[in-house]
Amino acid sequence: MNRTVTVGAAQMGPIQLADSRSEVVERLISLLRSGAEAGCDLVVFPELTLTTFFPRWWVDDLSEADHFYETEMPSDETRPLFDEARRLGVGFHLGYAELTEDGHRYNTALLVERDGTVVGQYRKVHLPGHEENEPWRAFQHLERYYFEPGEGFEVHAAFGGVVGMAICNDRRWPETYRVLGLKGCELALIGYNTPIHYAPDPDQDRLQGFHNGLVLQSGAYQNGMWVVGVAKAGREEGCDLLGETSIIAPSGEVRAMATTVEDELVVAEADLDLCANFKETLFDFGRYRRPEVYELITGQRGAQVPDHVRTGLADPKATGGDLP
């Protein structure tokens, strides 16, 4: 059986505050149609695709931001995307802000199959930034104010393989890929909004592209999976967002990468059988992993220098001594 999925990574250029949902949906449909012309089975859109990245602003009352959230999916405004995707026979992945009926707020992604069936929903686990108003920043990153964390990583039977989702900051954490990998993930879909400027340590600004490639490529290789990283890019409300949307093979090699910071579709043929070349050799988890020595990873959150090491550091004589 041929298990090649033609994947379109649909980078979005900036979405300004004044852009309406319908205007954004028109842009999505245009990218979707380009995907259909390129033979895509699946088109992947970024994190918070439908709005500007609103966590860059503080509001005193969260309800002032309600208009950024979706209370139903599809809604009247997003239905044309769902209808067109089904008509074209192209599946899609869409990130958006979700407000549930009982008032919970999540940074969410949805996966829809070629026949329009909703395959699964994912709510972002790792929420970066801060909870409080920090007006000293050029712009804020208030995801921890606007969203609650999701409950975990899941995989789905879709597009002939095992498909998982993660969102933006999740991609920087090896645990994300490893949990997906332990569930047999062959294709991980990850949308992002990554500001180039990182206020707590601006020395990292020049490294944004490097770090993006580093985490996407190592996540793919170390878990033998395809990884699709899709940006919302460009200058959005005065804030520069990283582009470099890319499709990474299980070897860790970049198979396609965007060259602009605008709406741009890049396409690659993802042969899911390639995953086995890595999952059944160097990264044969069942054969080589040693979970019994990794228990700190799930049992402890922050780094803790063991007592005997801390004591040794405090007492210089103790570090130069004989082994006990």
Structure tokens at 263: 């709406």
Long-range contacts at 197-205 (CB < 8 A, ≥ 24 apart): 197/138, 197/139, 197/239, 197/240, 199/137, 199/138, 199/139, 199/141
| Helical residues (DSSP H) of 183-284, grouped into ranges | 208-223, 274-279
Distance CA 222, CA 219 (A): 5
Write out the binding residues for ligand CDT, residues 195-224 only, by CB under 6 A: 198
The number of beta carbons lying within 10 Å of the beta carbon of residue 280 is 13
Strand partners of residue 167: 191
b/e code 282-311 from CB counts within 10 Å (16+ = b): ebeeeeeeeeeeeeeeeeeeeeeeeeeeee
Distance CA 146, CA 141 (A): 10
Distance CA 112, CA 119 (A): 5
Which range in 78-86, 176-184, 186-194, 314-322 contacts ligand CDT by CB under 6 A? 186-194
Our CB check for ligand CDT shows the closer of 193 and 246 to be 193
47 flagged as catalytic: yes
- Catalytic residue, candidates 40, 124, 143, 232: 124
Which range in 12-20, 173-181, 192-200, 285-293 contacts ligand CDT by CB under 6 A? 192-200
**Beta carbon of residue 115, minimum distance to ligand CDT (angstroms, whole number):** 31
3-state helix, strand, coil in the chain (%, to 5): 35, 25, 40
Out of 122, 192, 221, 278, name the contact with ligand CDT by CB under 6 A.
192
Which range in 19-27, 90-98, 164-172, 215-223 contacts ligand CDT by CB under 6 A? 164-172
**Beta carbon of residue 160, minimum distance to ligand CDT (angstroms, whole number):** 30
Number of residues that bind ligand CDT (CB under 6 A): 11
Contact call for residue 194 and ligand CDT (CB under 6 A) = yes
Out of 7, 40, 85, 168, name the contact with ligand CDT by CB under 6 A.
168
Our CB check for ligand CDT shows the closer of 45 and 192 to be 192
**Beta carbon of residue 94, minimum distance to ligand CDT (angstroms, whole number):** 15
**DSSP class of residue 232?**
B
Out of 169, 176, 217, 246, name the contact with ligand CDT by CB under 6 A.
169
Contacts of 76 (CB under 8 A, 6+ apart): none
**Beta carbon of residue 29, minimum distance to ligand CDT (angstroms, whole number):** 24
Write out the binding residues for ligand CDT, residues 40-59 only, by CB under 6 A: 47
**Beta carbon of residue 161, minimum distance to ligand CDT (angstroms, whole number):** 26
Q: At 23, which amino acid appears? A: E
CA distances from 321 to 305, 311, 314, 315 (A): 19, 13, 14, 11
Write out the binding residues for ligand CDT, residues 90-129 only, by CB under 6 A: 128-129
Our CB check for ligand CDT shows the closer of 128 and 213 to be 128
Write out the binding residues for ligand CDT, residues 133-152 only, by CB under 6 A: 141
- Catalytic residue, candidates 40, 84, 143, 168: 168
What Rg value do the Cα atoms of the chain yield, rounded?
A: 21
Contact call for residue 176 and ligand CDT (CB under 6 A) = no
> CA nearest 11: which of 97, 131, 93?
93
Which range in 5-13, 179-187, 189-197, 284-292 contacts ligand CDT by CB under 6 A? 189-197
Out of 93, 105, 156, 172, name the contact with ligand CDT by CB under 6 A.
172
Contact call for residue 193 and ligand CDT (CB under 6 A) = yes
Helix, coil or strand: residue 30: helix
Residue ranges that bind ligand CDT, judged by CB under 6 A: 47, 128-129, 141, 168-169, 172, 192-194, 198
Which residue numbers are catalytic? 47, 124, 168
